[in-house]
Structure 1
Amino acid sequence: MPHDDFEIEPVNGLPETPPEGERILWQGAPNAWALARDALNLYWVMGYFVVLCLWRAVVVAPELGWGGALASGSSFLILGAIACAILLVIAIVQARATVYTITNKRVAMRIGAALNVTLNLPYRWIGSADLSQKRDGTGTIALSTMGQTRLSYLVCWPHVRPWRFAPTQPALRSIPNAQMVAELLADAAQTQLIQQTQPQGDNALVAAE
């Protein structure tokens, strides 16, 4: 029988029902193609194998001629296509396993394909949110945490700001309509801070499922 790993979630993307007074404002997930492009460096991998193909063709062209040289180098293109297909599969699996949630009191991130982890980040733990947007409207919102909040880069990857290890910055990676989501997040955080309301149920930063 088919099994849904998330069927025990009372609310999609959250390990428990939000407490009274907390409202879900937005939920989303990475765009799989954008995640492969931005987090898994799909274009760089494609370019790498194209360069290998051309290099091979140039090396053997004096012996085989350009026709034979290109045929000889085509094996690198085949390997490149396989590598890119694997990266796309990884991106699709990661995107399907991920749910980003913005409420009026926190940001929650259910992440991880093999080991599912939920990060709960009340707004009082978030120092800043930085948006990096692409031309197609997808983008990444990186969250800078404050105080004693410490997260593992490896556990959170690829849902992190690249190359920020100390401290790790969790990120809503490759989401559609990133500008709109960033504005919604900023408004919710500002409203919450003004109200000076202490979030409930935020004692545990990480809840492993």
Structure 2
Amino acid sequence: MTMEYEIEPIRGLPGNLPKGEFIVWQGSPNWQAFARAVFHTRLVIAWFVFVASLAFVGGGTGIVGAITTLAVAVLGLGVLGLLAWTGARATIYTLTNRRLVMRFGAAVPKAVNLPLGKIGSADVKPLGGGYVDIVLVPTERFPLGWLQAWPHVRPWKVADPQPMLRAVSESFVPMLADALRSADPAATVHAEPDATRRGGMEAAA
């Protein structure tokens, strides 16, 4: 289920929790890791450094051109950083004993409820610095279109959107694995080697 709303009786949730449901974990993306994962800021930096270096190639504009390019780079990275900070601040992921709620959207907040029993598996991608992206593979079609949910969906899976938790702490993965296993013993969490190194992340049985 997905909805738009203005009032949060509980931070990150569009309504009060029903009897017997409780919050297991709640968190937001780390904005620096969010910027790297969503806006590929490291590639942007590498590109501008490359372009700036061309200023010293024969026929280039020299130090003036290089400084101008780097100034544009700083401005562009500042814009991307602001977008990442705003997006991360507007996002709250909530895991309860029954569901995972994704709240996102700075202008018009949206909340998507994903019952744990309808999440077939989760794929963990390490981002470095103790943060990971987690792709959730639902057993039913995701209620939002790809553009509506971006960047909280798997890249390039436009026809069949898969929700994605962005730049969360890797310490959350064992909690998610336990919650999915409790809801459905067949559910699995696939973690790449780097993601399991410090957090003790193991695939759910």
Indicate the TM-score class for this superposition, using the shorter chain for normalisation.
0.7 to 0.9
Mapped partners of 1:73, 1:193: distance in 2: 56
User: Structure 1 residue 44 and structure 2 residue 35: aligned?
Assistant: no
Given that 2:28 and 2:168 are in contact with CA atoms closer than 8 Å, whether structure 1 keeps it comes out as yes
Percent of residue pairs bearing the same amino acid type:
38
Instruction: Please state whether the residue corresponding to 2:70 is helix, strand or coil.
Output: helix
Given that 1:104 and 1:189 are in contact with CA atoms closer than 8 Å, whether structure 2 keeps it comes out as no
The correspondence of residues 1-209 of structure 1 with structure 2, limited to 5 A, is: 8-60=7-59, 69-176=62-169, 178=170, 180-193=171-184
Q: Per-residue displacement from partner, 1:144-194 (whole Å, max 9, x unpaired)?
A: 112344431111111122222231111110112x2x211111111221236
Mapped partners of 2:120, 2:100: distance in 1: 13
TM-score, normalised to structure 2, is: 0.82
The structure carrying a bigger helix percent of its residues is 1
| Bigger CA radius of gyration | 1
Most deviating of 25-34 and 153-162: 153-162
Mapped partners of 1:110, 1:190: distance in 2: 23
Mapped partners of 1:99, 1:112: distance in 2: 10
Mapped partners of 2:140, 2:128: distance in 1: 34
Using the TM superposition, give the Cα deviation of residue 18 of structure 1 relative to its aligned residue in structure 2, in angstroms.
Answer: 1.0
Mapped partners of 1:125, 1:36: distance in 2: 29
> Judging changes above 3 Å, is the alpha-carbon distance between structure 1 residues 148 and 91 closer, same or farther for their aligned structure 2 residues?
closer
Given that 1:30 and 1:95 are in contact with CA atoms closer than 8 Å, whether structure 2 keeps it comes out as yes
Structure 1 residues without counterparts, runs of 5 or longer: 1-5, 62-67, 195-209
Matched residue pairs, number?
181
Counterpart in the other structure of 1:64: none
Structure 2 residues without counterparts, runs of 5 or longer: 186-205
Mapped partners of 1:148, 1:83: distance in 2: 36
Mapped partners of 2:72, 2:37: distance in 1: 21
